Amino acid sequence: MFKKKPEISNLEPKVLQGKTIQLEPITMNHYEFLRYPANDVRIWTYMPCRADKEFYDCWFQDCLHQQASRTKLTYVIRRLKDNELIGSRAYYEIELQHKKLEVGYGWFTPSVWGMHYNHESLLLLFKNAFEEWHINRVQIATDPCNIKNYNTLKKLGAKQEGILRQHMIHHNGQITDTVLFSILAEEWPEIKTRLEARLIQLYVNNRF
């Protein structure tokens, strides 16, 4: 017998404050300001869906709907130095009964690719999951063709668990595999140290 997923109403999303960015739970107030950074087809290369151009409304409304139902908690990423929105990331597949969730649906506007914002957003989401919500397992999935994301997870020490073959069909019809990584609560302190050390290097290189 299948069990209904437990309610997650006690995992109320809040603003996550970082050094150069803050992650804000998505609201209708972000609608117009997030449209521009999302409007670049390059962002959606490895995604099953798109949010550029005419697809934006559907994507945004779906985020709000799932936020309200607590099936996915989407955050917009705000750069503090100029107050600009530069991307988005989410918690989903949240199962409190088993103390696990997934971090994903992440994207950044291409102008900040290769900078420190990706790592800083991961630090904020992982830290919140493990240290505030006391999650035991965080899963991260990536397309093996997304080499940068794949290498980031490997270097941080996330454990690769396997490959789901022909697991997703992208918006362009391409059938792709999915690589699964995970981080356990007991592994988080070491990974946190690596992530913070990498961020220090990136802060210097990017001269934020």
Higher per-residue pLDDT: 20 or 169: 20
- List C-alpha distances in Å: 101 to 4, 47, 184, 206: 16, 19, 11, 31
Q: What is the mean pLDDT of the chain?
A: 91
Q: What is the pLDDT of residues 54-68, one digit of tens each?
A: 889 999 999 999 999
Q: Which residues touch 23 (CB under 8 Å, ≥6 apart)?
A: 15, 16, 75, 76, 77, 78, 89, 121, 124, 125
Q: What is the pLDDT of residues 110-140, one digit of tens each?
A: 999 999 999 999 999 999 999 999 999 999 9
pLDDT of residue 6: 40
- pLDDT for residue 2 is more than 70: no
Higher per-residue pLDDT: 171 or 155: 155
Pair type for strands 72-79 and 21-25 = antiparallel
Ordered by where they begin, the domains of the chain are 16-206 (3.40.630.30)
